[in-house]
Amino acid sequence: MSAPIPSETVSPILTPDQLVAVQHRRYATKKYDPSRTIAPELWAALEETLVYSPSSTGIQPWRFLVVSKETRQKLLPASGHNQQIVSDASHLVVFLARRELTAADAERHVANFISIRHMEGQVAQNLRERQLGFMSGLPADFDAFQYSAFQVYIALGNLLTSAALLGLDSTPIGGFSPAAYDEILGLNGTPYRSVVLATVGYHAADDANAKAEKVRFPKDQLIQYV
């Protein structure tokens, strides 16, 4: 992948109309063309969007499993009503969230932050104290998995939008058996649990949803200025 472009040099790549057109084009694909595979350079770009997805405090409490075609066959019985798209799409991503968050997770994040930003001395110490203070100050009823799962959905949205920008089709999938997926993927006993899925690829020519009109409430019912 090319080096990141400094933010001060970035200018709009899409016009407002083009951006809205991409949002109108994106839809939950119900039937994929199994003969079409995403080119490696396009998939590499989507992996970058997952890596650079934002998370609360930047702690990145997730993992993303890109599942092979062979393993997908084992997952089919646990894939709810979306079995065929799990098999036929070019790629399947299983989004995982941390079961727990501890001071060790915060320390790992801080160490990575300090290394990348080349921080030293008191500046680095202040960052460490803030992050560890956040972790130690969590309420007694804090649900680490729920917190992490909320962050995972940010990454999911980022992937779906990025796929649409590249002219690819995608489907978010919540109707599967996380427990069965965890068993098949060997996640039991690990720090991570499955939360949601996404398939990415190219829709089939006869996918009924491809040309269906978008169903959304009017903007004035959804957006308010206060």
Question: Would you say residue 186 has pLDDT above 90?
Answer: yes
How many Å apart are CA 134 and CA 198, to the nearest integer? 31
What is the structure's pLDDT at 86? Answer: 96
The secondary structure of 50-106 as a DSSP string is HHT---GGG---EEEEEE-HHHHHHHGGGSGGGHHHHHHSSEEEEEEEES---HHHH
The C-alpha R_g of the chain, in whole angstroms, comes to 20
Q: What is the pTM of this model?
A: 0.91
CA distances from residue 114 to 6, 120, 136 in whole angstroms, order as listed: 20, 7, 20
Q: Retrieve residue 115's tokens.
A: 């290394």
Contact 32, 38 (CB under 8 A): no
pLDDT digit string, tens, across residues 51-67:
999 998 889 999 999 99
Longest Cα separation, the chain: 61
How many Å apart are CA 20 and CA 92, to the nearest integer? 26
Q: Most confidently modeled of 47-56, 75-84, 116-125?
A: 47-56
What is the structure's pLDDT at 205? Answer: 96
Q: Which residue has the higher pLDDT, 140 or 50?
A: 50
What is the structure's pLDDT at 9? Answer: 67
* Range 164-182 average pLDDT: 97
Could you tell me which of 66, 69, 79, 27 has the C-alpha nearest to residue 203? 27
How many of the other CB atoms lie within 10 Å of CB of 131?
Answer: 20
pLDDT digit string, tens, across residues 3-46:
665 666 667 789 999 999 999 999 999 999 999 999 999 999 99
How many Å apart are CA 47 and CA 91, to the nearest integer? 11
Average pLDDT of the chain, as a whole number: 93
What is the structure's pLDDT at 163? Answer: 98
Could you tell me which of 18, 64, 40, 37 has the C-alpha nearest to residue 158? 64
What is the structure's pLDDT at 4? Answer: 63
What is the structure's pLDDT at 6? Answer: 62
pLDDT digit string, tens, across residues 100-109:
988 888 888 8
Q: Which residue has the higher pLDDT, 58 or 182?
A: 182
How many Å apart are CA 115 and CA 7, to the nearest integer? 21
What is the structure's pLDDT at 128? Answer: 87
